Amino acid sequence: MKTAEPVRNKQKLEKLIAYYRNLGQFRNYVLIVLGVHTALRISDILNLCWDDVYNFERRRVRGSMTITEKKTGKTKIIPLHKNVIAALELYSDAAKPGVPLILNKQTGKAISRIQAYRLIRAAGEAVEIEFRVSPHSLRKTFGYQSRKNGKELLVIMKVYNHSSEAVTKRYLGITQDDINAVYLDLELTG
């Protein structure tokens, strides 16, 4: 099995995120936006119900969500990025208490992991990303882009709930091109 790669190119990432929005397929758009902006595993995304992200009493998207990670059993509070809130608002016509967020209308349950993989891979192919984009690619993209934007490795490690910095470093998928950029982008006088 190949290791999932993060989407490194910002323009390709923007195209990937916008792909299903532009097609008017808001459930699939939310799937990708959540993957990129929350660093959640696909199992945790597919476990989400509308109640986790939508306040039915106030009829609006919540500013954060509290989840218990399936793999680790740890509870975490995730503030929802403005892009996540906007995506959920586009899709909020589907909001119903107790209903899975990423709903398969035929079964009344969340879509399968395989279907999520197919949707994400298809979007990656459509926007011509040079490798097979997977749900795990979205999780890794969060860390890669966060690190590139100057976030501390230790903080990213905490977001992922990793036990060591070494695991997080492998996760970030740093390439020789990234290393070269450190040397070549440095501006010093003298």
Domains detected in the chain: 10-185 (1.10.443.10)
Token pair listed for 13 = 């990432």
CA dihedral sign, ordered 168, 69, 135, 33:
negative
171 part of the active site: yes
Q: Which of 21, 139, 140, 147 is catalytic?
A: 139
Cross-strand pairs, 110: 103
For the question of residue 37 being annotated catalytic, the response is no
The backbone torsions φ and ψ at residue 64, rounded to the nearest 5 degrees and listed phi first, read -155, 170
Instruction: Confirm whether 139 is a catalytic residue.
Output: yes
* pTM of this prediction exceeds 0.85: yes
pLDDT per residue as tens, the chain (190 positions): 578 899 999 999 999 999 999 999 999 999 999 999 999 999 999 999 999 999 999 999 999 999 999 998 999 999 999 999 999 999 999 999 999 999 999 999 999 999 999 999 999 999 999 999 999 999 999 999 999 898 998 899 999 988 888 888 888 877 777 778 878 887 776 6
CA 99 → CA 12, 62, 73, 111, 123, distances in Å?
A: 32, 16, 22, 12, 25
Give the active site residue among 19, 20, 160, 171. 171
Is 113 an annotated catalytic residue? no
Annotated active-site residue in 2, 59, 71, 105: 71
Those residues with Cβ within 8 angstroms of residue 50's Cβ, 6 or more apart along the chain or in another chain: 56, 94, 95, 96, 97, 98, 99, 100, 101
Q: How far apart are CA 28 and CA 116, in angstroms?
A: 8
The span from the CA of 25 to the CA of 20, in Å, is 5
Q: Output phi, psi for 160, to 5 deg.
A: -75, -15
Q: Which entry of 15, 21, 37, 136 is annotated as an active-site residue?
A: 136
